[in-house]
Amino acid sequence: MTLSAWAQPVMEFKAGNDTYVVEKLTDGHGIIWGVEFLDKDLIIFTEKTGRIQTLDLKTGLARLLKNLPSVYNAGQGGLLDIAVHPEFAQNSYVYVSYAKKLTTGGQTTAVARARLDVNEGRFEKWEDIFVARPAFSTAHHYGSRIVFDKAGYIYFGVGERGQAELSQKLNAHNGKIIRLFDDGRVPQDNPFIGTPEALPEIWSYGHRNPQGLFYDKKTDTLYEQEHGPKGGDEINLIVKGKNYGWPVITYGREYSGGQVGRGETARPGMEQPLKYFVPSIAPSSFMIYRGNKLKLFTDKFVSGALALQHLNLVAMKDVATACEDRLLVGLNERIRDVKQGPDGLVYVSSDNGRIYRIRAGSL
């Protein structure tokens, strides 16, 4: 393992007989919403304010990129997730999700892509491949996470923007997982092609605010994690065309403490979560760690937690009843994104404008 002299150890933690070190890799930024890897030594990350930077893991230097997309930065909106095309080495495409203000009124979740010249540090022209409709004047629940599957389809989550009833309606993108070709075209095997009034981009529905999305190459499976209201955050296994129930069924309650709808937690035709969290941890991001460098993490769901400010680990096996490990509590930071790096280590960003790396070993 290559240790970087510039990386600053900030925490050591012990779990059983194993010891891990948390290193700070960069600091002094805004909310770092999305973190990805351009190659094994180069991170690319978004700040909610609208900036995109690279972080060179050989030197520790961050570099602000040029020709950035125009975003609507207010409330929970702004520049959100970032994804690198699986064939980036050939086509140079980088994708972002963001809050877009429409000239026709309101704002909405959009996904755009542009080619990145890494050497020049500059994006070429941005093009929207998707703009969710309808738009609303509210400034919350945009969803945002973007993933690609092994066939090259792109998936992302769109939040219900506070309009809970739209999650059950197929004529709105709100509260949905979307599936497209990498250029924004709609695959003709999407589940609601041909359904009257249904939007063809929809892959699954009945979601609230999906802010975790992970494609597991090992099992060719899509997983999603979403914010519940007061309690009821969920981990879901996403299946084509399925209804995940919000707001008809939920394990959460209204912020006032009252029941949501009729207070149902199950109904035929609606999927149960693999796991739900009561109280909410407020999940920001989500992955399955498939590496072997960090034994504690292997084959576990790893979630960033905002409200409860930790990194959450729960085993995939019997996940509904499995115990949890809550890490990085001492940082006292809202964990915003979590990724497994090409080196098999875990990288975490926070709302305090920092990126951390977790490695095995001691100081």
Partner 1 sequence: MFILRLTVLLCLVAACTHAVITTEREPAEGLEYRACREIEEKMIQVRAINYATLEKNFKNVKDNVFKNHCASCHFGPDAYKPQLDDYTATLDYVDLNSPEQSRLLQSVEKGTMPPSYPLTNRSREAVAFLRAWVLDGAQR
Identified binder of partner 1 from the candidate list 68, 80, 111, 327, rule CB under 8 A? 327
Instruction: Give the three-class secondary structure for 296.
Output: helix
Q: Which of residues 104-133 bind partner 1 (CB under 8 A)?
A: 120-121
**Shorter beta-carbon distance to partner 1: residue 51 or 290:** 51
Q: Which segment (21-29, 103-111, 179-187, 233-241) binds partner 1 by CB under 8 A?
A: 21-29
Three-state DSSP class for 330?
helix
Q: How far is the CB of 326 from partner 1 (least distance, A)?
A: 7
Map the footprint of partner 1 across residues 157-176, applying CB under 8 A: none
Q: Closer to partner 1 at the Cβ: 160 or 333?
A: 333
Selected binder of partner 1 within 1, 2, 189, 323 (CB under 8 A):
323
Pick the catalytic residue: 29, 85, 140, 141? 141
For residue 88, the SS3 value is helix
Tell me: does residue 63 bind partner 1 (CB under 8 A).
Answer: yes
Cβ closest to partner 1, residue 121 vs residue 184? 121
DSSP, collapsed to helix, strand or coil, labels residue 168 as helix
Is 141 one of the catalytic residues?
yes
- Distance of closest approach, residue 216 Cβ to partner 1, in angstroms: 21
12 binds partner 1 (CB under 8 A): yes
- Exactly one of 129, 131, 237, 308 binds partner 1 (CB under 8 A); that residue is 308
> Would you say 12 or 127 has its CB closer to partner 1?
12
Neighbour-count burial for 310-348, b at 16+ CB within 10 Å, e otherwise: bbbbbebeeeeeeebbebbeebebbbbbbbbbebbbbbb
In angstroms, the CA 25 to CA 8 distance is 7
Site for partner 1 in 202-261 (CB under 8 A): none
**Residue 78 has what DSSP assignment?**
S
Position among 188, 197, 317, 363 found at the interface with partner 1 (CB under 8 A): 363
Give the list of residues 6+ apart from residue 188 with CB closer than 8 angstroms, or none. Answer: none
The residues, ordered by sequence, that sit 6+ positions from 285 with a Cβ below 8 Å of its Cβ are 145, 211, 212, 303, 304, 335, 336, 337, 338
* Rounded CA separation 84/347 (Å): 16
Q: Which alpha helices (H) appear in the chain, and where do they start and end?
A: 88-91
Taking the CA atoms of residue 335, residue 278, residue 76 and residue 211 in that order, the dihedral angle to the nearest 10 degrees is 70
Contact 214, 221 (CB under 8 A): no
The stretch among 89-97, 136-144, 168-176, 318-326 that binds partner 1 (CB under 8 A) is: 318-326
Tokens describing residue 76 = 């929970």
Binding track, positions 36-55, relative to partner 1; x by CB under 8 A: -----------x-x-x-x--
118, 324, 343, 360: which one binds partner 1 (CB under 8 A): 324
Query: Does residue 191 have a cis peptide bond before it, meaning omega lies within 30 degrees of 0?
Result: no
The answer to whether residue 144 forms part of the interface with partner 1 (CB under 8 A) is no
Binding residues vs partner 1 (CB under 8 A): 8-16, 27-30, 47, 49, 51, 53, 61-64, 120-121, 279, 308, 313, 322-330, 353, 363
Enzyme catalytic residues: 141
